[in-house]
């Protein structure tokens, strides 16, 4: 797990002692943090091993979505990501003026986790960063390297916490998911 150097909350969590969790120094951007985590895995990961990258800002990911990603991407030479089709109308804006409306029919919003072969992801990130291109997700680096990752439909409730109000939304989603799981488990 890549952790910001000034994170003060991690040390208060019981999970920090889990034997399968190792902490590495986070970077200035997501790509740098992922690259640091991959470097820490290099001593034990084979080039063909799968790695999943998950953004801690997405606490509402469903286990079923992760399982679907694993199953769908398992035989891929490249890898893939969870994503959802875009449902909002998208506008390109310059200043405060709309320049055009984008056709959303082929647009998907990228989610995490994203799953790629260890060496492919490492090399794609290294190449992008060496060229001064800082990818905003792992798929972008892999695409830049000439590959076409798979898209696996994820749940729309796998939101990213970016703004303060997103915390309240995530709390509501997690309560709803827990109630939904309780209902599923009690149904014969």
Written as six digits, the tokens of 125 are: 């990130």
Predicted confidence (pLDDT) per residue in 117-154, tens digit: 999 999 999 999 999 999 999 999 999 999 999 999 99
Residue 182 has pLDDT above 80, yes or no: no
Please state, for a pLDDT cut of 70, what percent of the chain lies above it.
Answer: 96
Q: Which pTM does this prediction carry?
A: 0.88
Mean pLDDT for the stretch of residues 87-96? 96
Q: What share of the chain is helix, strand, coil (3-state, %, to 5)?
A: 40, 20, 40
Cis peptide bond prior to 45, omega within 30° of 0: no
Q: According to CATH, what is the number of the domain 2-186?
A: 3.90.550.10
| Domain limits, the chain | 2-186
Mean pLDDT of the chain: 93
């Amino acid at each position: 797990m890549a952790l910001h150097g000034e994170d003060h909350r991690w040390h208060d969590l019981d999970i920090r002692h889990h034997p399968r969790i190792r902490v590495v120094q986070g970077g200035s951007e997501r790509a740098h943090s992922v690259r640091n985590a991959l470097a820490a895995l290099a001593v034990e990961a084979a080039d063909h091993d799968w790695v999943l990258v998950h953004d801690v800002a997405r606490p509402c990911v469903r286990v079923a979505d992760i399982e679907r990603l694993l199953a769908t991407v398992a035989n891929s030479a490249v890898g893939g990501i969870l994503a959802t089709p875009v449902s909002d109308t998208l506008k390109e804006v310059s200043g405060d003026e709309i320049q055009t409306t984008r056709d959303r029919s082929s647009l998907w919003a990228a989610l995490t986790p994203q799953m790629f072969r260890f060496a492919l992801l490492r090399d794609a990130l290294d190449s992008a960063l060496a060229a001064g291109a800082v990818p905003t997700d792992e798929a972008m680096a892999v695409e830049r390297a000439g590959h076409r990752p798979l898209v696996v439909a994820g749940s729309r409730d796998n939101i990213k916490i970016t703004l303060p109000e997103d915390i309240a939304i995530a709390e509501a989603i997690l309560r709803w998911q827990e109630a939904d799981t309780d209902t599923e488990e009690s149904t014969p």
